[in-house]
Structure formats: structure tokens, C-alpha cells
Amino acid sequence: MNWVKAKGYLWVAYGVVAILIILAVSLLYDPVGRLQEAQISAGLRAVFRLATPLDLVIPLLPPAMIVYWYVFYGFLFFSFFYFAFVRRESRNAFVVAFTLVSVVAYAVYLLFSVIGPERVVAGTDFFSVQVALLYQHDTPLNCFPSLHGSTSLLAAYALWRSRREYGFVSWPVAIAVQVSTLLVRQHWIVDQLGAALVTLPIAYLVFNWFKYTKVPAEVGKTRWWQIVVAVSFAVVFMVLYLYAFYIT
């Protein structure tokens, strides 16, 4: 009897495993960048700049860090929690799509190294200091396609597929994240076009062809308190992530 009750909570373990898989895939980003840096330093790899004339006139706008860091990571962690524990019928599809998008991006990085715009920040205000921290801790490589853009578009698509009304928020957020990468001088416009070309076909194919996770009918109904918990999770993990990887 106890085992029967325990089986009813296996979805929690599955959700945790889903998030751990996503985080494990994400942690490959830095080693991929460091490998390229080492090969470039040794003269073993060419590096490319994908600047367009429009890129050259885009200014550095430090307040865009609000979107680049806080909105992006909050949005992403919300999506992780939402599909792992709330809309569990799409959990497997989201994990598979996220993994495929990331693996394709890493493969392109290793085959075709693109370096971002020149990194110069002179201000000492709050946002300029954050830009400096970003430049200090994040590789100037891993640009094409933009993973900020790719993962934001994937989250936007998945949320839109989950409930069409969510698209009124998720798509503008994803586009805002893409624009913010240009304004903090981390990416080129082509990087964001590449993100869309990689992500949207993968998302479409996976969410249409992948077998959805079976859940009881009542589980498919999203309740207000679940959204509150998902937002709280997103805020907490966004702060912890930024502190662990950028602030310290």
C-alpha cells in the first residue's frame, strides 16, 4: 500500500531529473568556450566576426542588463519549473528540445568559432558594473547561434503551445532577450537569426512528434498557486545562479 502511494509521487522525482538534465546540458557551455579559447590561443583555430553595418552602430546600453540577466534567467527557470512540475505532459518534449538545441549550438561553436563585438565599458554605475562582470566571467565566443536567443525562443514556443494566451507574454519576452544581447554587446544580429533558424524547427518537430508524458486529466489544469510557486522558484534560482556564476 505504501508503495502504491509512493508511486503517486514519482512525478516529483521525474521533474527533478528533468531539471537536472537541463542544468547538466547548460553546464557544457563554459567548457566549450574555454576549449575554443585555448585552441585560438595556440593558433589551431580561426575566429570569425559576423558584424553587419547595423551592428556597428548599435550602442552599449548597460540598463539592458535588466533583461539580459534578470528577465532572461527568471523566464528560463520559470519554464523549467512549469514544464517539470505543472504541465508535466510536455515535460519530456521540453527536455528533449532543450537538449537538441543546446547540442546543435555547441557543435556549431566547435566547428565555427564566432567572437562577439568589442567589449568596452567605461561607466561605474550599477548597470555598467554588471556589464563588466558579464565580460569578466563570460566567454566572448559561443556567439552563433545565440543560446540566450535559442533558449528564450524555445521557452516562448513551449509556453505558447501549452496555452495560447501565454504567447502574448512569452514571445515579447523572448524577443526582448534577443534585443538585449545586442545592447550589451554580446552578440551580432546574425547570431539571433541563427538562434531562430536552429530553435524553431526543432521545437516544432519535437512538440509535434514526440510522445507526450501521460498524466491524469486533472493535472492538465493549471492553477493560480502553481504559477505563484513557479515564479517564486524562478526568482530564487535566478538569484542563486547569478550569484554563483557571475557575482562570486
What's the pTM value of the predicted model, to 2 decimals?
0.92
pLDDT of res. 167 = 96
Task: Please count the helices (runs of H) and the strands (runs of E) in the chain.
Answer: 11, 0
Can you give the pLDDT at residue 215?
Answer: 55
Q: Quick one: pLDDT at residue 220?
A: 57
Q: Which residues of the chain have pLDDT under 70?
A: 1-8, 211-221, 246-248
- pLDDT computed for residue 182 by the predictor: 98
pLDDT at 201: 97
Under 8 Å CB-to-CB from 137, ≥6 apart: which residues? 245, 246
Which residue has cell 542563486? 240
Sequence-distant (≥ 6) Cβ neighbours of residue 186 within 8 angstroms: 68, 116, 117, 134, 138, 143, 146, 148
Tell me how far apart the alpha carbons of residues 4 and 198 are, in angstroms, rounded to a whole number: 43
